[in-house]
């Protein structure tokens, strides 16, 4: 680390800054590895999550102050930075701009800057005037962030791969000649849907431009050739069954019409067994595929009749007595579940975890009450966050599947809905949260989501006019959720601010 052992003079002061790994240090670390890291920003974040100062020292992590939270105020930003530097603290590189931005652009151009940067921050030097401008729920009004344009890379499209999902939606993926996207060799990027391909006028052999959106997700930016010679598949790539095009919210999507499609069955059963659904531990996709190919599993209920094949199963290649009995034990354990997990496991179109939890909470986890309402065409649109389309999806599904759903449910014991957090007077009912970006305190988003729901709050996957808070530790992020939150004037808070809220 580049931090001093002690300040040049005693001071009761709080800094705000960022930990980074310079490009030259990053390249030095990678030069000694067979499997290299993809980007210094990711490596710095991963290093901090280790919570081990020795690793930070070993990787030569550097820290730079970009703000004084409290403890000193000179009246201007340059004066504050000078004071920080006089204390021997490292300060973010900066310069005074008076009407001419060219000097600033030249100095901090990402191509010649030693630190990984994705843009510039402009801020009034007069801190008193800056504070008088106030702030939005997102950021102070005395600053402006400008992000560098995503760097584009040219490559050649070699194929368009189509993959059938559990709902029958067939998703296109661009396959192209390997290209180095900011340190990661990439050969694939999503094409979203049929309309996206049509707009790009794609054809095999076309020269396309690829970029890494927000330094993470590979995307196709443009097609320089525009041969428009691609063809929509006339059969499902998995089962060879008929396909049809649907128009969903103005976008064309391709769907498999065969209810017996192997890809749909595999995806549905993998989803059924997944952690957030019925949660059968160690039931991998490869194991599910093996069971389907053996003819032992053709629906969800078959999983609970696998004991009859134990003798043959333990003699199959890749399995043994210990692993088979362990898996059968996990299947038995999964019979204790909750209503929200059960609903989510069924793969009802448009009904995800949030909707499943909303139903379960409304019915206190009572399956019999749920099933009675479901087969009698209950109007689920009366529940929060349910619309007419979701309601139709629920009732169309049960119309064709009510018999096997009840038979499957007979395998389970349903735990009743857990009561909300009693040891707090915090009530988040009526509040909707969206979570984005990396987390510092919670191990994953599910942990944070469960905590919010324990206080009767809701968690949504996208920002809308109904969103009350976007939880994001990087309030200057250029992510789509941050942009949407700013447009809708949704309050953006950090993990720390959320924890203060519930405390």
pLDDT tens track for 100-141: 666 666 666 666 678 887 778 888 889 889 888 877 656 678
pLDDT at position 430: 83
Integer Rg of the chain from CA: 27
pLDDT exceeds cutoff 60 at 215: no
The answer to whether residues 310 and 267 belong to one domain is yes
Contact 204, 229 (CB under 8 A): yes
Among 256, 281, 312, give the residue marking a domain's end: 256
- What 3-state DSSP class applies to 190? strand
pLDDT tens-digit readout, 469-495: 999 988 777 777 888 888 888 999 999
Distance CA 233, CA 100 (A): 54
474: which DSSP letter?
A: -
Q: Which of 192, 222, 256 is the last residue of a domain?
A: 256
Do residues 142 and 44 both lie within one domain?
yes
- Nearest Cα neighbor of 225 from 213, 245, 208 is 208
**Where is average pLDDT lowest: 25-34, 157-166, 268-277?**
25-34
CATH assignment at residue 385: 1.10.150.20
Q: Are residues 26 and 114 in the same domain?
A: yes
User: Within a domain: residue 426?
Assistant: no
CATH number at residue 217: 2.40.50.140
Does one domain contain both 233 and 199? yes
As a whole number of angstroms, the distance between CA 374 and CA 394 comes to 8
Q: What is the CATH number of the domain that holds 29?
A: 3.30.470.30
Domain shared by 25 and 115, yes or no: yes
Residues 297 and 342 in one domain: no
Q: Does residue 18 lie in a domain region?
A: yes
pLDDT tens digit string along 142-161? 888 777 777 788 999 999 99
Contacts of 17 by beta carbon, 8 Å cutoff, 6+ apart: 63, 64, 65, 66, 67, 92
Let me know whether 363 and 467 are in one domain.
no
Q: What is the pLDDT of residues 396-428, one digit of tens each?
A: 999 989 999 999 999 999 987 655 555 557 788
Regarding whether 487 and 438 lie in a shared domain, the answer is yes
In a domain, 424, yes or no: no
Evaluate whether residue 9 is within a structural domain: no
Q: 443: burial class by Cβ within 10 Å (0-12, 13-18, 19+)?
A: exposed
Task: Tell me whether residue 306 is in a domain.
Answer: yes
In a domain, 215, yes or no: yes
* Domain co-membership, 279 together with 330: yes
Distance CA 420, CA 415 (A): 15
Q: Of 118, 147, 176, which one is at a domain's C-terminal end? A: 147
| Helix axes 367-375 and 388-409, enclosed angle (nearest 10) | 120
Residue-range definition of the domain harbouring residue 290: 262-334
Q: What is the pLDDT of residue 309?
A: 95
The answer to whether position 5 is within a domain reads: no
Same domain (yes/no): 313, 280: yes
Residue 290: predicted pLDDT? 94
| 25 shares its domain with 130 | yes
Which DSSP helix (H) or strand (E) runs through 405?
Answer: helix 388-409
- Structural domain total, the chain: 5
Q: Please check whether residue 58 lies inside any domain of the structure.
A: yes
Q: Is the pLDDT of residue 271 over 80?
A: yes
How much of the chain, in percent, has pLDDT values that exceed 70? 93
Q: Are residues 471 and 397 in the same domain?
A: no
């Amino acid at each position: 680390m580049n931090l001093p052992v002690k300040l040049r003079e005693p001071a009761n002061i709080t800094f705000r800054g960022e930990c980074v790994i310079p490009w030259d240090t990053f390249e030095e670390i990678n030069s000694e590895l067979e499997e290299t890291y993809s980007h210094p920003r990711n490596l710095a974040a991963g290093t901090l999550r280790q919570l081990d100062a020795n690793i930070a020292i070993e990787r030569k992590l550097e820290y730079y102050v970009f703000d004084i939270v409290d403890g000193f105020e000179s009246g201007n930003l340059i004066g504050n930075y000078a004071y920080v530097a006089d204390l021997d603290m490292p300060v973010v590189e900066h310069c005074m701009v008076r009407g001419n931005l060219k000097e600033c652009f030249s100095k901090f151009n990402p191509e010649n800057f030693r630190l990984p940067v994705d843009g510039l921050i402009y801020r009034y030097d007069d801190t008193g005037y800056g504070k008088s401008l106030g702030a939005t729920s997102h950021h102070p009004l005395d600053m402006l962030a400008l992000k560098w344009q995503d760097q584009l890379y040219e490559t050649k499209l070699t194929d368009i791969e189509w993959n059938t999902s559990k709902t029958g939606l067939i998703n296109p993926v661009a396959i192209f000649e390997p290209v180095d996207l900011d340190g990661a060799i990439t050969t694939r990027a999503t094409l979203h849907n049929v309309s996206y391909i049509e707009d790009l006028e794609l054809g095999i052999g076309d020269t396309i431009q690829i970029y890494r959106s927000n330094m993470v997700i590979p995307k196709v930016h443009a097609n320089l050739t525009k041969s428009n010679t691609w063809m929509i598949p006339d059969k499902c790539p998995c089962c060879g069954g008929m396909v049809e095009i649907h128009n969903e919210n103005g976008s064309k999507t391709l769907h498999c019409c065969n209810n017996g499609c192997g890809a749909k069955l595999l995806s549905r059963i993998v989803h059924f067994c997944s952690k957030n659904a019925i949660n059968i531990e160690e039931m991998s996709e490869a194991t599910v595929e093996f069971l389907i190919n053996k003819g032992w599993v053709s629906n969800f209920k078959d999983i609970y009749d696998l004991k009859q094949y134990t003798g043959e199963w333990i003699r199959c290649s890749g399995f043994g007595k210990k692993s088979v009995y362990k898996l059968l034990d996990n299947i038995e354990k999964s019979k204790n579940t909750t209503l929200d997990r059960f609903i989510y496991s069924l793969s009802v179109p448009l009904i995800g975890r949030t909707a499943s939890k909303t139903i379960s909470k409304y019915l206190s986890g009572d399956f019999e009450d749920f099933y009675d309402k479901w087969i009698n065409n209950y109007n689920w649109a009366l529940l929060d966050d349910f619309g007419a389309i979701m309601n139709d999806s629920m009732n169309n599904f049960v119309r064709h599947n009510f018999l096997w759903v009840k038979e499957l449910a007979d395998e389970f014991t349903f735990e009743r809905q857990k009561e909300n957090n009693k040891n707090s007077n915090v009530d988040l009912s009526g509040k909707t949260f969206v979570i984005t970006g990396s987390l510092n305190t919670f191990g994953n988003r599910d942990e944070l989501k469960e905590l919010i729901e324990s206080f009767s709050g809701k968690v949504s996957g996208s920002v809308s006019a109904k969103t009350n808070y976007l939880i994001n530790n990087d309030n200057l992020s250029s992510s789509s959720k941050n942009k949407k939150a700013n447009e809708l004037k949704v309050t953006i808070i950090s993990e720390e601010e959320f924890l203060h809220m519930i405390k």
